[in-house]
Each structure stands twice: as C-alpha cells, then as structure tokens.
Chain A
Amino acid sequence: MSYRPTIVAFLCNWCAYTGADLAGTSRLRYAPNIRIIRVMCSGRIEPTFILKAFQQGADGVLICGCHPGDCHYQEGNYKCLRRFKLIQKYVDQMGIEKDRLQLEWISASEGRQFAELVNNMTKTLLILGPSKIKSSLEVEHLKQ
C-alpha cells in the first residue's frame, strides 16, 4: 500500500471549526487524509491529545485556533501557543520531526486558507514519509 499521510486535527469550535465548515459550504476541495476533532477552545488542547494521536499512528497533528486577539474565550489561543512551543520541542526530542506538529490560526471566514493548509501539510508529510513512532512503540511492546 502506498504511503498516505494521516493527519489528526484539533480545531476550536468558534473560529477554526467554523472555517473548516465554510470550506465545505464553499465546496472547496482538499486532501481527504485529515480527521478533525472539535474542542471548544484551542486552550483545551492537552499535550496528551497530541501524543496520543502520534502514538496511535498519526503522521501529523494539526492544531487550529482563532487568530491572536480573536479568541472567543479572550486568550485561550495564547495559552495554546505557549504550550505548542513546548510540546513541539518535546516531540522533536522523542524523534518526531517537528514539522509533523503544526499550529495555524484560522478564522471563521478562512475556509480557503484551511483547505490550502491541509493540502500544504499533506505535501510536507509526503516528503517526511511515514511517522516511525507507532512502529517503534510496537517493537518496544514486543520486547516486554
């Protein structure tokens, strides 16, 4: 089977998820290899969720929230940004290339930008190749 990168995305309800919905209502086309999980605010996204997605075999994890200053909950996106910087360092140290984890701001009107983002990230992941983290975890498990 040829490599098809898998993206797990966490989108905030108010801007990014609505923007992704707009891509749909505008009938824009983007790569089908993304699965979206809705959270109320990007500030809700825990490191555990990101690691879980990688552990389960995701080749990339995408986080989208409201643009700076536009957060529905005032400042959740800033907290998300801070956590993102830390977790990106962490995944890098775990052997997950840091481009596999991306954070972008998508407003409720940016359906086009969302579609482009998915396509661009897919291209990046095609170049990076499949994530090795899941198979290496499985080997560790067998040793035990």
Chain B
Amino acid sequence: MPLAVVAVSVQQPVSSDHQLARLLQIGVVLEEVVEARAGEHARTMEVDDPELEALLAEAAEESAGHREQLEDLIDDLEADTIPFEEIKGLVRAQYESEADFDGVLYDQLCNEETAYKFYDDLIAAIEDSDAALSVDRAQLIETLSSIREEEAEGVEEVTELMEKRE
C-alpha cells in the first residue's frame, strides 16, 4: 500500500465540537472563496461567453447553498460563522484577473476539486473519530456527503466544458 494513503494520523483532527466547528468554518470560507472568485471572474472577464458565464453563475449559487448548509451545522454547534463580505474583500484584494477562457475554467476546476478533496477528507476524519459530538453524526455525514457529491458533479461539468472547447 502506498504510504500516502495510510489513514493513521498523528493527531485526531475531529475530537471535539470545537474542532468540528473550526473545520466547518474552513468549509464556509472555501465556499465563500469559490463564490467570490466566480463573481470576480464574471466581473473582469474580457470575453463574451454565455456558456462560461452560466457555469460561473451556477457555481456561485451552488456555493451559496453549501455555505448555508454549513452555517446551519455551525449554528447547531453554537459557533460563529465568517461573514461573506469579509471574505469577498480578501479575495478582491488579492485577485489577479484571469482574462481568458482557459484561465477562468482552470481556476473553476481547482475550486471544485479542492472543495471535493476537503469534504472527502473531512468525512473520513469524522468517520474515524470516536469523539462524542453534540450534532447528529449520521445527519452530519449525510449533509457533507451530499455536498461532496455536488462538488464531484461540478468537477465533471467543468471537465466536460474543457473537453468540448479543446
């Protein structure tokens, strides 16, 4: 077995409500980054491309939906979430315009793949954890799994569009 897939971690990352809330906050920020970057791409793009614009709008809408689901979970853990306006400002401050189709699409692919990887690792960490959590574990995993599924579909959609334009 390759070493990279050894599941044992030095520390268990989900050993309390606090740590779970922190990871969900990171999920919220990732979704906010996706949403804000999609918005920046759409705002600054120099090409007129309705298909790509529709993809970006859909990605932003999907991220907003995921963010709300994560925020509900964070709320159940009695933790705070991160205001979207704050992240939007940070994204805008460091954003470097992707003027062409390939750049925008590649960034979108990274967004979807990264989000998928994050949820996949988070679900595995929750499943590995034997900590007592104050949220319903089955419900938590179900919610995260459905978000992960949508991220996988997102990867497929972007890949299909990339292949179509080759």
Q: Do A and B come from one complex?
A: no
